[in-house]
Structure 1
Amino acid sequence: MKIPRWAIPAAAALTASGLLLTACGQESPRGQQNAAGTQPQAEPSAEAPSAEPSPSPVPEPTTLEVANVTRLGKVVTDGDGRTLYRFDNDTARPPASTCADACAKAWPPVSASEAATRVDGVDQSLVGKIKRPDGTWQVTLGGWPLYRYAKDDGPGDVNGQGVGGTWYAASPTGKKALAKRTDTGDRWKGWTVVKARNDPKLGLILTDGKGRTMYRFDKDTAKPPTTNCFGACKKAWPPVTFTTWKKLKLEGVDRKLVNFIERKDDGTCQLTVNGWPMYYYEKDEQPGDVKGQGVGGVWWATTPTGTRAATTGTGGGYGTGGGY
């Protein structure tokens, strides 16, 4: 077939430009025509820079700050305002943590990052760190390992204060942040205050807000909660009065174990712990006295779970004749 003369310049122009018409009428680079439906593959550039690994993130420093809590004074917090605690079962010299597994789940250790701990209101020289059994590092203050409390919902909460008589918010020096004197006496007038206190001989025992020891009576029953102390017995062992749920103050005692009964003799409400009615002893004259321990072999200082405190004495006074 004779090609029209006018078509030759057009074909030459396409060839010169390096483009050819494909079967589908699309332009394709000369010599790199692709099969229908595929896309041309770009050749890698010899001058393309090689990808460099991104730098490792700089660890954020652990932050220790100081906050003022109404009933405790100055306590140490983290950078988010969460209260930090110390554990009496740990040691500061040498610094060592005894809280692991389930304990560490309830009291998460404050991790020490690779960066230096940032402080605000805390003496930097008191800050250190220890290596935990799992290989992680934990911040210490004054030698005491620091923890958070899982039941603190937010900044300012101190729900861990006094738990088990061994957990306390940390002061800026690493010591225990203890309740001010205004927490006892007239401030709690009309309240039922139950605290766990560590007695040198008996271990953890229950006291009220003024430090008066609470006792249980073996002739009572816990299931159902019943008192059998009336008349002269009641005079020697005054019942611990329960006011209202709105005026119940607990430290180191599980709220689920606390309740009350209505006495048959006068209709007053008497505090119970794990079902056992609670009493004072008239011969206890000072806060911390435990003269009622073991009286008659039936009266005992009470642990935070309602059980008898460790027996160390034989007692006297109203213990004669079986202690009622």
Structure 2
Amino acid sequence: MLIYLRKTPVGIICLALLFILACKKDKPEETPMVKKGIQISTDSKFGAVLTDSIGRTLYFFASDVAGTANCTGACETTWPVYYSANASTDLNVNASEVAVITRSDGKKQTTYKGYPLYYYMNDLAAGQTNGDGVGGIWFVAKPDYALMVANFQLTGLNGKTYTKTYAEGTGKTIYFTDSKGRTLYAFSPDKNNKNTFTTDLTKNGIWPVYEGELKSVPSIITKDLIAVIDVTTIGKKQLTYKGWPLYYFGQDAIRGENKGVSVGAGPGFWPVLTVATTVAPN
């Protein structure tokens, strides 16, 4: 049966509705993308935070600075391992910074910037961050740390091991690294926000200045203790902590190494930086 619609406003409207309904019927419904792997969420306190695909917060462990997972056995009950076969569907995640390691117990674990990732058992819902700061060595995993925290043995270029007071001996020290676990140092003769060491590029090859940007810091550090100075002798900018210009040691070849602690007039002449570091003198 043919339906005739008069060329009236009502008739035109009816034709339009029939056309829209026909188009909707032909157009397939869009399926929402399923999130997989690491995601970046925005937290009201911490800003950008790494989570799993359903929004559960992920964490870094300071003792894992060398890239090896040290939370094993009973530790895993509190800090379960995070693993996903998928790197990330989040376009804001740099896939080149996501990897997978095989732990000593044979389990696989996802890493970000070389840090194995964990959950915290007392995060009972997505978005909770109850594990941050636990023991001063567990921190929410973030993509934008300017500094990170290591909990590791100090071992000098001379092969000797040192305590946090630079006496010979064993025992972990909590100190600062860059975002990928490379140890940072101060030069003990430096002055407050003044680099007195780097007089030319040759010296920068031995003790390179840390050119990190003033971004996020772990919660045991307050951001007002961080600054950026100009090193005019080499045309670079350098991050400082409590006024101490920060350096790398050129012979620290891999993450977690801290060989520079034995270099100079005595152990600690080039000290690592800690929460207890005193303010640099004027």
What TM-score, normalized by structure 1, do the two folds share? 0.39
Structure whose alpha-carbon radius of gyration is higher? 1
